[in-house]
Structure 1
Amino acid sequence: MNLYVGVDISKGYADSCVIDDEGTVREEYRLDDTRSGHDQAQELAQEWDRTVSSEEELLVGMEATGRTERNWLDLFEQIADKTEPEAYCAGPLVLRRFAEQRRLHAGKTDRISARLMADYLRFGGVETDSEGTGKSPQPGLRTLSRKTKELIGRATELKNELHALLQRVHPELALLRLRAHEPVGPEVNQTASDARRGR
């Protein structure tokens, strides 16, 4: 049985939710961001690792929250050196879109956010091997996401400019486009033709 651990990091503590392949919540924890909390996380990861066979996966995921996740991500990457869990970090926008696509309630409680991350892992939200390393995705994902959004916005601007230019240079194309989408009476067509001729 595969296990998916979603971790929601807050200042000073982290909530975690462990689910299986069926989406059943097996365990939920709140661990302090202290030495004893990290020790407890290591013990839990070893326990989870014993539950999973060698053919199965143990994935740990957390939301990128502006560097507060770094302690926990580093901890789970250290744990991964000794055991088998793979640790991933996903951006908040990615998780929000995932929740919208699955029509999941994405309330802002820590427990719900941890469950959302675990579901994201369960549904294959992260690739099992990020750039062949098996470690967390590169920090450039935020940059990639931002750049993609910028390019989409720029493409929309260019399309709008192209439409405006076509209407100035070839007004008959706008009329043809209007006729193709909205059939109109002959008197409206005549009025449009007269307007083009300058009457």
Structure 2
Amino acid sequence: MKKSTLIVLKSLTWIACLWPFAVLAWGAVNNTLGADPTAHIELTTGYTTLMLLTITLAITPVRRLLPSLSWLIKFRRLLGLFAFFYATVHMLAYVGLYAGFSVQAMLDDIAKRRFITMGVTAYLLLVPLALTSTNWAIRKLGGKNWNRLHKLAYVATVCGIIHYWWQVKTGVLLPLPFTVAVTVLLLARPVLNWRQRRKARPVTV
């Protein structure tokens, strides 16, 4: 891929990733976030986090199935960091707007509301991934250790989806697309590994 093409695609990715935040910021300034602005912020940032995580996790399987799209790897780190950004905004909105920065209120929520517990777990799993998303961290950890650590992205995403299911009312199916997509991605990994081993197996005559 030409450098100019890569720059254009990355610029478009930045715009697309920042768009939900820009819309929220505009709505906050103009007081157009609806009757419950805090809920709107939480829903938007949480949904965007899961969307970006799912896209990030899909990159490796897509590259393995379609080698012509190997250039997608150049966007994985960027998308992952944007996912962490929205997860952080999501968490800060809860801490500031719902809990009022009260540690006791947060501890009570974690103890009493299982969806809060699962959401905090998902966020804490993302923290080491964001902190090690640098070339320096890859060199220090080594490629294999870094890859093992970053498989936590699947665990964090699953926790995020459970957090979503436990939060919505019974009968609401908004988390279903994420559930299906991540399930397919989880099942794809062993299938693709088996396919790769089969191709590498020497042919006997």
**Aligning the two structures, in what range does the TM-score lie when normalised by the shorter sequence?**
under 0.3
TM-score (norm 2): 0.22
Name the structure with the higher strand share: 1
TM-score (norm 1): 0.22
Greater Rg by CA: 1
Name the structure with the higher helix share: 2
